[in-house]
Amino acid sequence: MFDAKELYAKLSRADAGFYTLDTCHTIAAKLDRIAELKQRRNAVILAHNYQRPEIFEIADYIGDSLGLSLQAAEVKTAEAIVFCGVHFMAETAKVVNPGRKVIHPNRQAGCSLADMADEVDLAVRIKDLRRQFDDLGIVCYVNTTAAVKALSDACCTSANAIEVIAAMPNRNILFLPDCNLGRYAAQRLPEKNVILWDGFCAVHQEIEPASVEAIRAAYPGLKVLAHPECRDDVVRLADAALSTAGMVKYAQNSPAQMFLAVTECGLSDLLAIQVPNKQFFRACKICRFMKMITLDDVISSLENLQPEIVLDEGVRKGAERSIRRMFELTVKEKIPPTLLNEID
Ligand code: SF4
């Protein structure tokens, strides 16, 4: 049973204005209902770091794209995976664990970055670039559809983009869809010719260097942590450019007491809850897609086991190959068991 007072003490650290004791009574009742349905349906709930704070309360695992893919692949006994994140993430869970029912509680929760590259445009661009570069390799960020992953040689996340591109045998690499992450990696890999796709995350692109500089000037000693999806002039101001999971670890292990997390606001909420003894400032923007999934959506998805992610098997296998390649190029020992059977 969830206790409203305990919830209030915890959630109000994330957003003191929104979570009142009354709201927490309603939230506690919904969380109890979800806990009951989860057991009845034999389901696990995975949640991305940018989700609403109350969603964290019912998640079996909270993480970034890489952590969630690994976790999804390891779900063995549960019948369903309820994926609280955006659509491409739920697709990735289905790609790595096709034997489970993957439920995405709100169909509208897409991703503006993933929408910037489709498989038709990618096929045309590859054909075009291969006329100039016969060794062309394709690396796609995990924020892509399964169909785009299926056309790529390797997938990557913000935590391992540099490592994946560095390990590709090709000198010429088309990186898509995020030009900011691609540029960030290219700056650190002068031996590679990284060709950027013209895409970006609308949320991270809106964060301005002036807002970071103002907070840093006001709080000497503050550590600035920026996501590499941010613009170059923002990332250059950071003490560290990190994935969301990297930011959580950094804040937990650093001797510093004050941090500015420059990314989507959900991460600041999570940091405030998970690292309560330190102080977090915000230069963040809200991703409306990440906030679309509500507790009511989770209840409805568990009641009906819908909306389910369904993928064409050819596309799924192609996407699985590019995800497997990511692990082969970086941490082979971490390859999820479900992907192992096709490795030589
Ligand atoms: S923050 Fe950007 S990249 Fe992440 S889900 Fe939202 S739109 Fe997509």
Per-residue pLDDT reduced to its tens digit, 27-40: 999 999 999 999 99
C-beta of 287 in contact with ligand 1 (< 6 A): yes
Calpha distance 86→63 (Å, rounded): 13
Q: In CATH, what is the architecture of 207-282?
A: 3-Layer(aba) Sandwich (3.40)
Give the chain's end-to-end CA distance (angstroms, integer): 48
What pLDDT was estimated at residue 343? 36
User: What secondary structure letter does DSSP report for 334?
Assistant: G
Inter-residue contact 67 to 61 (CB < 8 Å): yes
* Cβ count within 10 A of residue 117: 25
Q: Report the SS3 class of residue 302.
A: helix
Query: Which of 5-14, 158-167, 177-186, 289-298 bottoms out in mean pLDDT, i.e. has the lowest?
Result: 5-14
pLDDT-based confidence at residue 332 (cuts at 50, 70, 90):
low
Q: Where in the chain is the domain with CATH 3.40.50.10800?
A: 4-109+290-304, 114-201+312-340, 207-282
Q: In 114-156, where does DSSP find H-type helix?
A: 119-132, 146-150
Query: Which of 66-70, 148-152, 225-229 bottoms out in mean pLDDT, i.e. has the lowest?
Result: 66-70
What pLDDT was estimated at residue 314? 98
Q: Which helix or strand (DSSP H or E) is residue 1 part of? A: none
Nearest CA to ligand 1 atom 6: 287
Inter-residue contact 44 to 57 (CB < 8 Å): no
Tokens matching residue 218 = 């006001």
Per-residue pLDDT reduced to its tens digit, 245-279: 899 899 999 999 999 999 998 888 888 888 989 99
In the numeric block, the tokens 């034999």 are attached to: 42
What pLDDT was estimated at residue 69? 82
Q: Per CATH, which fold does 4-109+290-304 belong to?
A: Rossmann fold (3.40.50)
Domain 114-201+312-340 in CATH 3.40.50.10800? The answer is yes
C-beta of 207 in contact with ligand 1 (< 6 A): no
Nearest CA to ligand 1 atom 5: 111
C-beta of 181 in contact with ligand 1 (< 6 A): no
CA of 68 to the centre of ligand 1 (A): 15
Q: Which helix or strand (DSSP H or E) is residue 61 part of? A: strand 61-63
